[in-house]
């Protein structure tokens, strides 16, 4: 399976959900990914939020050589080219950033991969849009809200958006975001909660994942 910019965008749009998390333990990280996969996830973002992130990412990629081979495994919280190069070398399938760093975008494009920069203002969205961001991450979405996207989306014809931060596993909440025009919703601690991680409660995560995807499939256009 080719995992380039276009196939990754298609996979995210089809799934309608972009789950994300980080945990310092590599074995727990793998079990979480397995639970998400069992629940129906085929595109996933491991966030660069701790010292073990790169080593854990390499551990996950190694596991994916023998299982879950159709899973798109991207990396999030990439803030500069040094971090980018480390994760490109580790085999990241797509790159998610909390900011708009054009050099990161340039190198990601050159690698043929999807670049998802984080934007808050119309100016940031415009810069990312002009620089060919396949998807823009609205961040922090809990502060901006669906009404914000509804207000600015028409300015950027054809641009795809994914909100991250504050999206709930709730039909009304998710429906409001899709009606505002997102192509998918990002979900971190509302899905992979601290409690699930600490208790290694993988069965609950499978159920929550299935519930989230069921809601998304019901409401997305």
Domain holding 119: CATH number? Answer: 3.20.20.70
Contact 94, 8 (CB under 8 A): yes
Domain count for the chain: 1
Mean pLDDT, the chain, integer: 97
Instruction: Give the residue-averaged pLDDT of 155-183.
Output: 96
Overall pTM surpassing 0.85 (yes/no): yes
Indicate if the pLDDT at residue 111 is higher than 90.
yes
Q: How confident is the model at residue 6 (pLDDT cuts 50, 70, 90)?
A: very high
Please report the pLDDT score of residue 166 as a whole number. 82
Per the structure block, which two tokens stand in for 200?
Answer: 């290694």
pLDDT at 124: 98
| Residue span of the structural domain in which 79 resides | 5-219
Q: How far is CA 221 from CA 32, 83, 150, 171, 178, in A?
A: 29, 36, 16, 14, 8
- If pLDDT is split at 50, 70 and 90, which confidence band does 1 have? confident
* pLDDT at residue 24 is higher than 90: yes
């Amino acid at each position: 399976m080719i995992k380039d910019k276009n196939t990754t965008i298609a996979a995210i749009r089809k799934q309608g959900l972009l789950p994300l998390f980080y945990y310092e333990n590599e074995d727990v990280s793998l079990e979480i990914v397995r639970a998400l996969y069992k629940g129906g996830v085929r595109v996933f973002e491991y966030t660069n939020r701790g010292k073990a992130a790169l080593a854990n990412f390499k551990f996950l990629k190694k596991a994916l050589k023998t299982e879950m081979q159709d899973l798109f495994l991207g990396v999030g919280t990439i803030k500069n080219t040094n971090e980018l190069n480390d994760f490109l070398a580790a085999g990241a399938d797509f790159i998610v950033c909390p900011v708009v760093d054009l050099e990161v975008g340039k190198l990601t494009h050159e690698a043929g991969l999807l670049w998802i920069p984080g934007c808050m203002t119309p100016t940031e969205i415009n810069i990312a849009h002009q620089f060919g961001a396949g998807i823009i991450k609205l961040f922090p979405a809990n502060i901006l809200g669906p009404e914000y996207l509804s207000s600015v989306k028409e300015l950027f014809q054809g641009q795809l958006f994914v909100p991250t931060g504050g999206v709930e596993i709730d039909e009304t909440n998710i429906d409001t975001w899709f009606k505002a025009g997102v192509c998918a919703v990002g979900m971190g601690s509302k899905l992979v909660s601290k409690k699930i991680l600490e208790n290694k409660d993988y069965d609950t995560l499978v159920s929550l994942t299935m519930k989230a995807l069921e809601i998304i499939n019901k409401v997305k256009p």
